[in-house]
Amino acid sequence: MKILVINAGSSSLKYQLIDMTTEGVIAKGNCERIGTPESSITHNTADGKKFKYDVYFPTHTEAFEKLVEVLTTGEGKVVDDLSEISAVGHRIVQGGKYFSESVLVTDEVKKIISSISDLAPLHNPAHIQAIEACQKVLDKSVPQIVVFDTAFHQTMPPKAYMYALPYEYYEKYQIRKYGFHGTSHRFVTARYAELTGSDITTKKIVTCHLGNGSSISAVDGGKCVDTTMGFTPLDGLIMGTRSGAVDPSVVLYIMKNQNLTPDEMNDLLNKKSGFLGLSGTTSDSRDLIKAADEGSVPAQIAVRMLRYQIKKYIGAFAAAMGGLDAVVFTGGIGENSDSLREEVCTDMEFFGLKIDLDKNQKLNRGEGKISADDSKIEAWIIPTNEELLIARDTKKIVEGLNK
Ligand code: ADP
């Protein structure tokens, strides 16, 4: 079975074609800058070949038509016929309170995803456009499945997801913590159970997804009980361009003193803050570390801030769960930055966590346990694979349909 995984943004459509017999990636790429004169497709095949096609596509539908052409014809061709693609799995950012698991796309499902577009204005409308593009271009019989970033966090109790605002705003606008990166937190949780051969229902773990966007989750017995991102992905940790948590009064103070509109303030918090805002030069953690090493004080502060915040959340979530068995690091920073993992886990012996510095370095960019043998709490690096989990969910639902 071959499954196409789609991750659509407002001007892009990332894809991976996965062979579910081997779970290997057949091809992957991105239709970029949809709706602009610079639109193009990058397409990489499993044999290491890279292609770039400069083609104009005004909307997601034309982009998807072009993608189908790339997959089935020319030098980058990876399938003889479109009918080889058994199903499509879509990543959806916001499922609100409506979806706690992945589902088959129906008219009703589309309607609900659209109805909560207010909660993810940059993402949900684009997801619907991508679903409709697939429906137009592929045979009607090809099932489409939606997998939500928020679904894994739906198990949080009200004490974790509510904000202490007048209750009417929860009722009227559904203002609450939703959490994001759920597919990644779920993937590494399952992989931890697999790698350790343990019964996940008996484990308390903290999963740290650290990339351009970062979030940490408390996972008790395989279920998420708390997470750092909130109503939107802006909350929690300092990120590439997002501020993470700030005192809400600061937002009002800046708006007032700088005469900013809500949209301008939103832009400042989401696109001009975080590593970029502090350093003034970069949102990329590698460049930030380089700037810090070269003596930039704000970059040094930004590097320290993320590590300090992670440490703090590990402690907070251990307390919330009444114990901790393992900390898992994943995402571009979590998987690749041995210095971050080292600093986060240093001076945590009092707490039961002791890192093995040698393993931490040797396993960098790999997968495995990096805590010392006598550490009560384990620490792991587990590379995430959100696309694979989307493909697995898709396969499971499609097989259920065929029964
Ligand atoms: P996204 O959240 O967009 O999926 P990734 O998970 O790929 O992003 O993470 C990207 C981040 O990972 C970037 O900030 C990048 O600098 C960081 N990263 C990659 N390699 C390293 C490294 N060796 N040391 C520190 N950070 C790294």
Kindly report the pTM of this predicted structure: 0.96
Give yes or no for residue 385 CB within 6 A of ligand 1. Answer: no
Q: What is the mean pLDDT of residues 106-135?
A: 94
Q: Which tokens belong to 115?
A: 């109805």
233 lines ligand 1 (CB under 6 A): no
286 lines ligand 1 (CB under 6 A): yes
Residue 341, pLDDT score: 98
83-104 residue pLDDT tens: 999 999 999 999 999 999 999 9
Reported as a single tens digit per residue, the pLDDT across 20-61 is 999 999 999 999 999 999 999 999 999 999 999 999 999 999
pLDDT at position 402 is 81
Query: Does 365 sit in the ligand 1 pocket, CB within 6 Å?
Result: no
Please state, in angstroms and as integers, the Cα–Cα distance from residue 222 to each residue in 19, 152, 249, 367, following that order. Answer: 27, 10, 36, 20
* DSSP three-state, residue 179: coil
What average pLDDT does the segment 294-309 reach? 98
Q: Is the pLDDT of residue 385 over 90?
A: yes
Instruction: Name the residues annotated as catalytic.
Output: 149
**What mean pLDDT value characterizes the chain?**
97
* Mean pLDDT confidence for 11-17: 96
What are the tens digits of pLDDT across the range 242-280?
999 999 999 999 999 999 999 999 999 999 999 999 999
Closest to 189 in 3D by CA, of 181, 363, 104, 179: 181
Measured in Å, residue 388 CA sits from the centre of ligand 1 at: 19
CA 255 to ligand 1 center in whole angstroms: 31
Task: Residue 29: name the closest of 21, 17, 11, 39 by CA.
Answer: 17
**Residue 122 banded pLDDT, cuts 50, 70, 90:** confident
Whose tokens are 């960098």? That residue is 364
> From the CA of 136, how far away is ligand 1's center (Å)?
36
**Mean per-residue pLDDT for 283-312?**
97
Count CB atoms within 10 A of the CB of residue 16: 22
- Round to whole Å and give the CA distance between 309 and 113: 33
Indicate if ligand 1 lies below 6 Å from the C-beta of 212: yes
- Contacting residues for 350 by C-beta, under 8 A, at least 6 apart: none
What is the distance in A from the centroid of ligand 1 to the CA of 241?
A: 13
Q: What are phi and psi of 42, to 5 degrees?
A: -105, 140
Atom of ligand 1 nearest to the CA of 384: 6
Reported as a single tens digit per residue, the pLDDT across 146-201 is 999 999 999 999 999 999 999 999 999 999 999 999 999 999 999 999 999 999 99
Nearest CA to ligand 1 atom 3: 212
Ligand 1 atom closest to Cα of residue 331: 6
Which residue out of 214, 242, 285, 382 has the highest number of ligand 1 atoms within 8 Å of its CB and is therefore the one to mutate?
285
Confidence band (pLDDT; 50, 70, 90) for 403?
confident
396-399 long-range CB contacts below 8 Å, 24 or more apart? 397/102, 397/103, 397/104, 397/143, 397/145, 398/1, 398/86, 398/87, 398/143, 398/145
Structure-model confidence comparison of residues 140 and 240, the more confident one: 240
pLDDT at site 3 = 98
* pLDDT at residue 283 greater than cutoff 90: yes
Q: Assess whether the C-beta atom of 285 lies below 6 angstroms from ligand 1.
A: yes
For the chain, give me the number of helices (H) and strands (E)? 15, 14
Q: Which residue's alpha carbon is nearest to atom 23 within ligand 1?
A: 336
- Please give the share of the chain, as a percent, with pLDDT higher than 70: 100
